[in-house]
Amino acid sequence: MESSTTEYKWINIEEKDEESGCGIRKSIPFTIRNIQKGKRKFTIKLTPEIMEKDPLIEWELGIIEGKELTEPFLPKESRAITREIELDSNQSRKLNIEVGTPKGGYFGDSISFTIRIDSEDGINSGKWQFKFTLTPTIIVVKTNVGNELQVARDMDNRDARDMEERSATNPDATREIMAIMSPFEVKGYLFVETMHPDRISYISRGIRGFKGLAEGSIDIEEIAHYLVPKPAVTGLELGSFVELIDGPFKGEKAKIMSIDSGKEEVTVQLIESMVPIPVTVRAEAIRVLESGRK
């Protein structure tokens, strides 16, 4: 940076490097202030450098003032974008640099750009650098309750077939689904890591139990606690009424009589059985209907 924002206070802007998913728009706010007497002109110039696997994939770069967006910047057509503004004495102007990441980008693709701002009289001048790197996004898939694992398996199989089909014309084709997580505690949802969220609905179309995607994405920190395995018996209590969801007694109602934490098994008594016979099942094979505390 060629000038001190602390000393002159003619501009407010913060350099940053960011990681972002595909198909996302990001804004970088900055404010230019005319601290000299009289009307003065400022020139803003954005110069990008793009590193990507597929040279035909286009990023967008523009300058926003209010709700007005300048013509989107297409890297293959131009190597710089320039804008001029005039400010009266003590007048300031708020603007945004807007970056549109490509939907079809690859992991590690990036755009680095320099913004240079100069006053026409040469008194104020500065240069700042930014970088956006494409990384996977975690999205939320909605499913019918009880179909989470089956939907996850079907999505994985569909994704494998989709890659095989695309490989016929694109030898660099990769799997769209990088990881799927279906925590035992979360009902009706899956977490999917992908570079291209827009293709997940296409791959999953027609899968039984698939109900679409939740809007937006989530950070890994929000689901990190699910990555640490918990004993299946966690939260189970003696006397709780449960439903068996797997095994020969699937659909039967029962009451928990004992819990074996070491084996992660529970012994239940079938409620509707003519003879109160205890049955030992895996803790994952039951769903709590009513806590034993009641």
Answer yes or no: do 193 and 212 share one domain: yes
- Residue 234 falls inside a structural domain: no
Is residue 152 domain-resident? yes
Give the CATH number for residue 260. Answer: 2.30.30.30
Residue type, 72: P
Domain tally for the chain? 3
pLDDT for 39 beyond 60: yes
% pLDDT > 70, the chain: 91
Tell whether pTM > 0.75. Answer: no
CA angle 224, 230, 232 (to 5 degrees): 140
Report pLDDT for 287. Answer: 86
Tell me the per-residue pLDDT of 262-290, one tens digit each, with 9 for 90 and over.
888 999 999 888 787 889 999 888 888 88
Domain-terminating residue out of 103, 134, 165: 134
Domain annotation covers residue 18:
yes
Q: Are residues 108 and 163 in the same domain?
A: no
Is the domain of 218 the same as that of 282?
no
Give the per-residue pLDDT at 1. Answer: 42
125 and 113 together in one domain: yes
What pLDDT is attached to residue 2?
A: 45
- 127 and 13 share one domain: yes
Do 11 and 124 fall within a single domain?
yes
Above pLDDT 90, what percent of the chain? 56
Please identify, among 109, 134, 159, the residue that sits at the C-terminal boundary of a domain: 134
pLDDT for 190: 95
Is residue 141 in some structural domain?
Answer: yes
Whether 124 and 158 map to the same domain: the answer is no
Same domain, yes or no, for 76 and 188?
A: no
Domain membership flag for residue 261: yes
94 with 215, same domain: the answer is: no
* Residue 205 pLDDT > 60: yes
Residue with the bigger pLDDT between 134 and 69: it is 134
Question: Which of 227, 257, 279 is at the close of a domain?
Answer: 227
* pLDDT at site 116: 96
| CATH code where residue 186 lies | 3.30.70.940
Mean predicted confidence (pLDDT) in 241-249: 88
In this prediction, residue 61 carries a pLDDT of: 87
Evaluate whether residue 156 is within a structural domain.
Answer: yes
25-33: strand order across its sheet: 11-12, 25-33, 92-100, 60-65, 68-69
- What angle in degrees, to the nearest 10, is found between the helix axes of 197-204 and 148-167? 100
Q: Is position 153 within any domain?
A: yes
Query: Domain range spanning residue 279?
Result: 241-290
Are residue 121 and residue 22 in the same domain, yes or no?
yes
pLDDT mean across residues, the chain: 87
pLDDT at position 106: 92
Q: What is the pLDDT of residue 247?
A: 86
CATH number at residue 120: 2.60.40.10
pLDDT value at 197 more than 50: yes
pLDDT of 292: 66
Per-residue pLDDT reduced to its tens digit, 45-90: 999 999 998 888 888 888 887 665 444 555 555 578 889 999 999 9
Q: What is the mean pLDDT of residues 151-169?
A: 94
